[in-house]
Structure 1
Amino acid sequence: MSATSNKTALVVSAHSADFVWRAGGAIALHARQGYDVHIVCLSFGERGESAKMWRKGPGMTEEIVKAGRRQEAEAAAEVLGATVEFFDIGDYPMRADTDTLFRLADVFRRVQPEFVLSHSLKDPYNYDHPLATHLAQEARIIAQAEGYKPGEKIVGAPPVYSFEPHQPEQCEWKPDVLLDITEVWDKKYAAIQCMAGQEHLWEYYTRVALQRGVQAKRNIGITSKKDIIYAEGYQSIFPRVTENLG
């Protein structure tokens, strides 16, 4: 993704399907609004999140699984209107070295995001998820530093939002932003259907979107005529700077 005059957004996804379940609506919505949305998948989820593919038989290999997961993620990103790249740093366990950190900082510099989406800061069920967020946070800090690759354009202070984890209560995740994605739900569900390797999650994340939609509609007040059906929840990591509280 090269720099453009459009507004931009960056999504840092631990595995190749996470961005679809958790932020597909936000991606599609902002793409429709003219944003250039770029996704970084740190891994393909080849070990821990591809059980259906591994069960196909003894001839299955890690490279075949990776190729299948890449194809799914690329198809989903195209449906949502975003670009995607893959770092392929492995999963279960995921580990990131200094080179990976600098590589992501370079993505921040290149994209110049207006906002960033990634995982919850805690997740006792999946250590890859908070690692992705901590990596994104540290890369953001490095990309802001004048002393890192002097002469390059630094990034400002894009707000960072944690998208919804699979087990919010155990992850100490509490949404303070509810995003109406009703107008792009068809795009999100089409992207969800690209994830054939995790078909068991299609209905689950439909229910999540409906539940957040009910909560969003309740929070805009009974006088609003806006018909919210589907929504996504986000938790902001930094304070929002605003000129009014309306």
Structure 2
Amino acid sequence: MEKMAKKTGLVVSAHSADFVWRAGGAIALHASQGYDVHVVCLSYGERGESAKLWRKGNMTESLVKQKRQEEAEAAAEILGASIEFFDLGDYPLRADKETLFRLADVFRAIQPHFVLTHSVMDPYNYDHPLAANLTQEARIIAQAEGYRPGEPIIGAPPVYCFEPHQPEQCNWKPDVLLDITSVWDKKYAAIQCMAGQEHLWEYYTRVALQRGVQAKRNVGIASPKVISHGEGYQSLFPRVTEDLS
């Protein structure tokens, strides 16, 4: 009998904590289901998202990067994901053609069954839509027969944009509500690894509770399914199906 390839997921995070706040539940849930989930952190968030570390004094950029990497690695281990860091800078995050090809190579290596990344609009943080655009373009390149001919191309994995900090300002509307109740403890443990942004722990707990209430409402109040925590996602591409249930 032919052995089936293991399912995989790819998460592209602009900064070293974004994947935890916004997709930690999805990562832990799919890891628990046997998926290999890989996280790419484009930046450590060393300038704009590490205020608590800088306020300690006697800090350098290299020390902040080291601390942020340690936090992200600890969180990824809890969630059950592998992780790598591109170190593209922060505020501003910038990517050249070689970076684009590097991410396309990750797509080819991972062969993801789904992709999670940022919203395509975020007026509060230009690094986030840049990460989203980079992810989409790398996906297209990884599909191209003419890119590194002879290598296996990828299929068309669905891309889901995870929740931005202020969704109403980002033209982000969730069309997927993911039940993360069974892995909330893991997500919160990963959140607690992000000591450099402790002020966000309670905020993202409230977000998860709110999405949990909405998820429960959308399966029906009469349903016996218990949903306490959720994550919201906006899909970029149509779902192809033969079953509308």
State the distance in 2 between where 1:197 and 1:6 align.
35
Q: For the residues of structure 1 that align with 2:243 and 2:80, how far apart are their CA atoms?
A: 32
How many residues of Structure 1 are paired with residues of Structure 2 in the alignment?
Answer: 242
Q: Secondary structure at the match of 1:206?
A: helix
In the other structure, the counterpart of 2:217 is 218
Asked whether 1:238 is paired with 2:212, we answer no
Matched, 1:127 2:126: yes
- Supply the distance in 2 between the matched residues of 1:5 and 1:234 (Cα, whole angstroms): 26
Q: Deviations over 1:195-242 (max 9, x none)?
A: 000000000000000000000000001221001000000000000111
Residue type of the alignment partner of 1:230:
H
Alpha-carbon distance in structure 2 between the residues aligned to 1:95 and 1:61: 21
2-side partners of 1:31 and 1:11: how far apart? 13
- Aligned partner letter, 2:60: T
Q: Distance in 1 between matches of 2:199 and 2:5?
A: 40
Q: Say whether residues 1:103 and 2:105 are aligned partners.
A: no
Where does residue 20 of structure 1 map in the other structure? 20
In 1: Cα distance, 2:50 partner to 2:5 partner: 38
Matches of 1:196 and 1:93, distance apart in 2: 22
TM norm structure 1: 0.98
Residue equivalent to 1:5 = 5
Give the letter aligned to residue 194 of structure 1.
Answer: C
Aligned-partner residue type, residue 88 of structure 2:
I
Unaligned stretches of 5+ residues in structure 1 = none
What is the distance in 2 between the residues matched to 1:157 and 1:94? 27
1:169-180 pair list within 5 angstroms: 169-180=168-179
Q: Distance in 1 between matches of 2:53 and 2:222?
A: 49
Matched, 1:39 2:34: no
Per-residue deviation at 1:98?
0.4
Q: Deviations over 1:10-63 (max 9, x none)?
A: 000000000000000000000000000000000000000000000011x21000
In the TM superposition, what is the alpha-carbon distance from 1:112 to its structure 2 partner?
0.1
**CA distance in structure 1 between the aligned counterparts of 2:15 and 2:59, rounded to whole angstroms:** 19
Give the equivalent residue in structure 2 for 1:91. 90
Alignment of 1:134-149 (within 5 A): 134-149=133-148
Q: CA deviation at 1:160?
A: 0.1
What runs of 5+ residues in structure 2 fail to find an aligned partner? none
What secondary structure is seen at the aligned counterpart in 2 of 1:186?
helix
- Structure 2 residue identity aligned to 1:52: K
Q: Provide the rounded CA distance (Å) in 2 between the counterparts of 1:36 and 1:179.
A: 18
Alignment-mate amino acid for residue 31 of structure 1: A
Q: Which residue of 1 aligns with 2:50?
A: 50
Whether 2:187 is the aligned partner of 1:188: answer yes
2:70 is the counterpart of 1:60: no
State the Cα deviation string for residues 81-119 of structure 1 (Å, max 9, x = none). Answer: 000000000010011000100000000000000000000
SS at match of 1:169: helix
Q: TM-score, normalised by structure 2?
A: 0.98
Name 2:160's counterpart in structure 1: 161
Q: In 2, Cα distance between the equivalents of 1:203 and 1:15?
A: 19
Q: What is the alpha-carbon distance in structure 2 between the residues aligned to residue 109 and residue 244 of structure 1?
A: 29
Distance 2:138 2:223 in 1: 40
CA distance, structure 1, for counterparts of residue 59 and residue 202 of structure 2: 27
- For residues 241 and 131 of structure 1, the distance between their equivalents in structure 2, rounded to whole angstroms, comes to 27
Deviation above 2 Å: which 4+ runs of structure 1?
A: none
Q: Taking every aligned residue pair, what percent have the same amino acid on both sides? A: 81
